[in-house]
Amino acid sequence: MGCDIHVMVEKKSKGNLGWDTYLRKNEGFHYQVGRCYELFAILADVRNDFDIVAIDDPRGIPEDASATYLEYVEEWNPECHSHSFITLAELQKYDWSGHPECDYFVNDQIPELEQLAEKHGCTADDIRIVFFFDH
């Protein structure tokens, strides 16, 4: 059975009072990542049959997650697992060399997050992805 990732993008709210879900034109609030087990291993040590050093183990649902994300998680319970979040700064810092399966993420998705930060005058620490996996 396959495993999929469910991702939303959040940006720090004005005044640093929490996080807001970033709504993308034509796609709603879901961030399209696709099924790539090598990427899953990097993001949260999920489906790590590659002996890859992950950015971190699953961190859980952030305490300050946006209401939209929390509602989405509730819709998927109990089918979701390995909740986590990673900032754009952490994605930029990771050594992606040697992971050609993740080129689409590195060359398309991360730059899109960088453009979002620039557009909103945010730092890379003010943009994050929040995600979970299903069975």
Assign 32 a pLDDT band (cuts: 50, 70, 90). Answer: confident
Q: How confident is the model at residue 33 (pLDDT cuts 50, 70, 90)?
A: confident
Closest CA to 106 of 33, 35, 4: 33
For the chain, what is the domain count? 1
The pLDDT mean for the chain works out to 90
Per the model's pLDDT, the better-predicted residue between 50 and 58 turns out to be 58
Residue range of the domain that includes 21: 12-95+118-134
Is residue 104 in a domain?
no
47 is a domain residue: yes
d(CA 93, CA 121): 20
64-101: pLDDT as tens digits: 999 999 999 999 999 999 999 999 999 999 999 999 99
